[in-house]
Each structure stands twice: as structure tokens, then as C-alpha cells.
């Protein structure tokens, strides 16, 4: 759809998953879109600063419906390599497994590679003639006015001016910081006491999956847990979650890490390989987890709006951060269409209608840590008895 009601120059700050989808949706309406991303192009061999947030992600109906809304054919292309996960597979200390289905009618979520998804979306941006993508443009500040928004960047990059700004620059959003100067924004940021470390379960000898392919695997151990999501090549991306102090205490020695992993995840270590996993555990980045809430999401005159993690970073236990970011794009486009391109009305209505939902999902995501790490265990697992005895 290209429409004279949707005219103007828009900057999308951030070429992550949400920024890319927003750019495509805006370009399809006819806006002149410039995407400004501070990293190098991740598709280039020479790129050194990749987005390390997670190797794979779960996309659910919420995200898929939003992709379909923006472009059904694109959605099909982007999701060609997903691995459906029809339920959680719970692993107890004795290696027994129990499947908890997500639904009785085959409902499932889907695992896919973050890097492939992001790169495929960037390829799509290149095909749309009213989108320009500028890498290595790190936004530092925005001079807001009624008519023109001037973006300034590091490293003497030239300033650029736009009619309006879409901030999709993630949880540490500079756009959000700049908006706080122009609008009375309530803002809350909180780190939870949980560290995550990504580990790797390779494919078996003939490329086969070493765990059941169509499950999200969980080794729930109360205050800490291990999860594994399948990749299409037969491997699994495994993530360990635990309070920071527990991780710090383990880091004292290699022996301690080894003992801990063998005691708590013996079946996983059998197939992951204890020595390589210990090295990964020690050397891989230790990630913090943060929640962000703000209100409103936009400048009251329609000159800027926040989408995705910039507006509502959430902990990953509900697998909904990207999914909600994609939904943000759908909801915003519906409002722009409904109000015939009147940004002021569309943006203000967006905050009015979206805030409650985003606060709710943020809360659900936090609560789901308890569900995944404790409540999924049933009596027959006898887990806590074993841990207490240890
Ligand atoms: P980001 O992905 O953070 O992208 C922001 C972009 O903006 C980046 O490319 C960054 O380089 C750029 N940028 C930042 N500052 C500037 C600047 N000043 N100037 C220019 N560019 C800038 N979500 C799910 O839906 N399902 C899952 O299964 C899931 N699993 C997760 C697992 C983990 C371990 C973590 C940490 C998160 C997970 N999430 C999941 C959440 C998901 O990763 C985020 O919600 C999603 O990446 C948000 O996308 P975004 O585009 O808003 O932000």
C-alpha cells in the first residue's frame, strides 16, 4: 500500500528485529524511510560487533500474525527454517523426562536463529526503494521541533533531519533518553537478580538431534535452570540461568563448575560434553536481564515514538520480547491507517491502548521464571528432596 496520507521522512533508529519490521511496514505505506544502525552490517564477513543477545529465539502466534500483517509472503520466507516446539520437555535429576504440551490441538511455538532472521530482514530492506540503511551511525542526540527532528551521531557523521523518529534502539535506547527531554515520561528500569550464559549442544554424529527435536527442554532446579531450544542443523542452544552470586561463587574454580554441572545436569552433560561445557561456562559472556517500562511511548506532537525493547524490555522467560515488538508494529500501523496518517492522534492513542498490555506481559514474563524453574516439576520428579539431601 502506497498512499499520499503517509508522506514524510522517517528515521528508524536501530536495525534490530523490531526496527527492520517497522521500516518495512512504514515503507509499504509510502514513507521515505532511513534506518540508522550503530553496528556494522552483520551480513559482512568482516563484521566484528554482532548482536550477542541470544543465538535463537522462540516466535509465537503473536509475532507470526504481526509478520503476516506486514507482508504474508515475507513472513513465509522469514520462517522457512523454524523448528516447531509443541511443548516443554522436563528433565529430572535421574534423567527421566516428561512432556508438557502447550495445547491439545497441536499449538506450538517455533525456534529460529536470531542472526538469520535479522539478516533476512535486512536483505528485505535492501529490496525496497524507499528505504535507505546506514550502518555505523550511532545516535547521540535529537533536536526536536514542531516540524523537523535533527538526529546527531558519533564520529563526525553528518546530522540528518526527519519529520518523525521511530526509536527501535533496544533496552538502552538513546531515542528514549532524548524523548524524556521533550515529554513528561514516567520511566522504570530494573535488573532482576539473574545471570544467563549461553552454551551449546552439538548435533549427533550423523547430524541428528540428541534430544527430542520438537520440544523446549528444561532442567528445572529451583533457583537455577538450564533450557535448550533446537536449531535446524540438529544442534541446540542451551541457556543457563541463575542468581549472580551463585555464578560468581562457581567461577572460583574449574573444578567447582565441573562438579556443579555433573551433579545437577548429568544427562545434559553426557551429550553436551563436560569439558567443552565447563570451558564455555567459564568463558562465555554473562548476560544481565533487565525490565523497562515507560509511559507515554511517544512525543505528544507526533514527532517520535518508541517500539520494541526501547519501550518495554522484558526478561526472556515468556519468550515474548521480540513477539511483542512485532505486535507493536502491527498495532501502530493499524492506528496510522485508522487515523489516515495523523501521527499525533495515532501515537497518542497507541500509548492509551497499548500501555496496559505491555505492563501485563512484562509482569507475566517475570513470573514465568518461577513457573519454568520450579512449578513445572511435579511430584513424581522428587527433585527438591534430592537437592535438599545434597
Ligand atoms: P534490539 O534487538 O536490542 O535491537 C536494537 C538495535 O538498535 C540494535 O541493532 C542496536 O545496535 C541498535 N542501537 C542501539 N543503540 C543505538 C544508537 N544509539 N544508534 C543507532 N542504533 C542503535 N524474545 C522473544 O520474542 N522470544 C524469545 O525466545 C526471546 N529469547 C530471548 C533470550 C534472551 C537470552 C534474551 C536476552 C532476549 C530474548 N528475547 C526473546 C527478547 C528479544 O531478544 C528482544 O525483545 C528483541 O531483540 C528486541 O528487538 P529490538 O529490535 O527492539 O531491540
Question: Taking all residues of the chain, what is their mean pLDDT, rounded to a whole number?
Answer: 93
* Most ligand 1 atoms within 8 A of CB, residue of 16, 23, 227, 239 to mutate: 16
Same domain, 161 and 196: no
Cα of 202 from ligand 1 centre, angstroms: 25
pLDDT confidence of residue 49: 64
- Spatial separation of the C-alpha atoms in residues 241 and 211, rounded to whole Å: 20
- Spatial separation of the C-alpha atoms in residues 336 and 343, rounded to whole Å: 7
Of 342, 4, 14, 321, residue with least CA distance to 165: 14
- Considering its fold, how many domains does the chain have in total? 2
94 inside domain? no
76 inside domain? yes
pLDDT, tens digit (0-9, with 9 covering 90-100), for 149-187: 999 999 999 999 999 999 999 999 999 999 999 999 999
91 inside domain? no
pLDDT confidence of residue 2: 53
Same domain, 266 and 356: no
CATH code of the domain covering residue 151: 3.50.50.60
Same domain, 334 and 247: no
Domain that holds residue 283: 192-287+379-389
User: What distances in angstroms separate CA 126 from CA 131, 132, 139, 168, 260, one per listed residue?
Assistant: 7, 8, 21, 18, 48
pLDDT range class, residue 388, cuts 50, 70, 90:
very low
Same domain, 32 and 146: yes
Same domain, 22 and 58: yes
Nearest residue (by CA) to ligand 1, atom 34, is 54
Same domain, 185 and 196: no
Of 80, 123, 61, 106, residue with least CA distance to 324: 61
ipTM: 0.99
Same domain, 171 and 183: yes
Backbone angles phi, psi at 152, to 5 degrees: -115, 150
- Higher per-residue confidence, 386 vs 192: 192
Cα of 388 from ligand 1 centre, angstroms: 38
Ligand 1 neighbours, Cβ below 6 Å, are: 13-19, 36-39, 51, 53-54, 57-58, 138-139, 168-170, 174, 196, 287, 308-310, 316, 319-323, 325
Cα of 315 from ligand 1 centre, angstroms: 11
pLDDT range class, residue 287, cuts 50, 70, 90:
very high
Backbone torsion region of residue 284, taken as left when φ is above 0, otherwise alpha when ψ lies between -120 and 50, otherwise beta: beta
- b/e 240-268 (16+ beta carbons within 10 angstroms → b): bbbeeeebeebeeeeeebbebbeebbebb
Same domain, 216 and 346: no
pLDDT confidence of residue 386: 47
> What are the E-state strand segments in the chain?
9-13, 32-37, 56-59, 83-85, 87-91, 97-101, 109-113, 131-135, 139-143, 149-153, 160-162, 164-167, 186-201, 215-220, 225-230, 236-242, 287-295, 304-306
**Which atom of ligand 1 sits closest to the CA of residue 308?**
52
**Which atom of ligand 1 sits closest to the CA of residue 310?**
52
Cell 516540524 belongs to residue: 147
Q: What is the pTM of this model?
A: 0.94
99 inside domain? no
Same domain, 15 and 158: yes
pLDDT confidence of residue 387: 44
Nearest residue (by CA) to ligand 1, atom 36, is 53
77 inside domain? yes
93 inside domain? no
116 inside domain? yes
Same domain, 136 and 279: no
Same domain, 384 and 257: yes
Cα of 13 from ligand 1 centre, angstroms: 12
37 inside domain? yes
pLDDT, tens digit (0-9, with 9 covering 90-100), for 236-285: 999 999 999 999 999 999 999 999 999 999 999 999 999 999 999 999 99
Percent of the chain residues past pLDDT 70, beyond the cut = 93
* Most ligand 1 atoms within 8 A of CB, residue of 11, 12, 14 to mutate: 14
- Spatial separation of the C-alpha atoms in residues 164 and 347, rounded to whole Å: 11
Same domain, 317 and 338: yes
Amino acid at each position: 500500500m502506497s498512499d499520499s496520507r503517509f508522506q514524510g521522512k522517517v528515521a528508524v533508529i536501530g536495525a534490530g528485529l523490531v526496527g527492520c519490521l517497522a521500516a518495512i511496514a512504514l515503507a509499504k505505506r509510502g514513507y521515505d524511510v532511513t534506518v540508522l544502525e550503530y553496528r556494522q552490517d552483520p551480513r559482512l564477513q568482516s563484521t566484528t560487533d554482532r548482536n550477542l543477545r541470544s543465538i535463537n529465539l522462540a516466535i509465537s502466534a503473536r509475532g507470526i500474525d504481526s509478520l503476516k500483517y506486514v507482508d504474508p509472503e515475507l513472513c513465509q520466507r522469514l520462517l522457512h527454517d523454524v523448528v516447531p516446539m509443541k511443548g516443554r520437555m522436563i528433565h529430572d535429576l535421574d534423567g527421566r523426562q516428561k512432556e508438557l504440551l502447550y495445547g491439545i490441538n497441536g499449538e506450538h511455538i517455533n525456534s529460529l536463529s536470531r542472526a538469520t532472521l535479522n539478516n533476512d530482514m535486512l536483505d528485505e530492506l535492501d529490496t525496497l526503494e524507499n528505504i535507505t540503511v546506514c550502518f555505523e551511525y550511532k545516535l547521540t542526540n535529537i533536536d526536536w521541533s514542531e516540524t523537523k527532528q535533527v538526529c546527531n551521531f558519533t564520529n563526525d557523521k553528518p546530522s540528518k533531519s526527519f519529520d518523525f523518529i521511530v526509536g527501535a534502539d533496544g533496552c538502552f535506547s538513546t531515542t528514549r533518553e532524548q524523548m524524556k527531554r521533550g515529554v513528561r515520561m514516567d520511566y522504570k528500569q530494573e535488573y532482576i537478580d539473574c545471570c544467563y550464559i549461553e552454551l551449546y549442544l552439538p548435533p549427533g554424529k550423523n547430524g541428528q538431534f540428541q534430544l527430542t527435536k520438537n520440544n523446549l527442554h528444561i532442567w528445572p532446579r529451583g533457583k537455577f535452570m538450564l533450557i535448550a531450544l533446537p536449531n535446524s542443523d540438529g544442534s541446540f542452544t542451551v541457556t543457563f540461568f541463575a542468581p549472580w552470586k551463585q555464578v560468581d561463587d562457581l567461577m572460583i574454580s574449574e573444578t567447582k563448575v565441573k562438579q556443579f554441572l555433573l551433579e545437577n545436569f548429568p544427562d545434559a552433560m553426557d551429550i553436551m560434553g563436560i569439558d567443552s561445557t565447563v570451558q564455555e561456562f567459564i568463558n562465555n559472556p554473562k548476560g544481565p536481564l533487565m525490565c523497562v517500562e515507560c509511559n507515554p511511548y511517544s512525543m505528544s506532537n507526533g514527532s517520535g515514538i518508541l517500539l520494541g525493547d526501547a519501550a518495554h524490555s522484558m526478561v526472556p522467560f515468556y519468550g515474548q520480547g521480540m513477539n511483542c515488538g512485532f505486535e507493536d508494529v502491527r498495532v501502530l500501523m493499524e492506528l496510522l491507517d485508522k487515523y489516515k496518517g495523523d501521527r499525533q492522534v495515532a501515537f497518542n492513542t497507541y500509548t492509551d491502548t497499548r500501555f496496559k498490555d505491555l505492563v501485563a506481559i512484562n509482569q507475566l514474563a517475570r513470573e514465568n521464571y518461577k513457573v519454568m524453574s520450579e512449578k513445572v516439576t511435579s511430584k513424581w520428579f522428587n527433585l527438591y528432596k534430592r537437592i535438599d539431601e545434597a
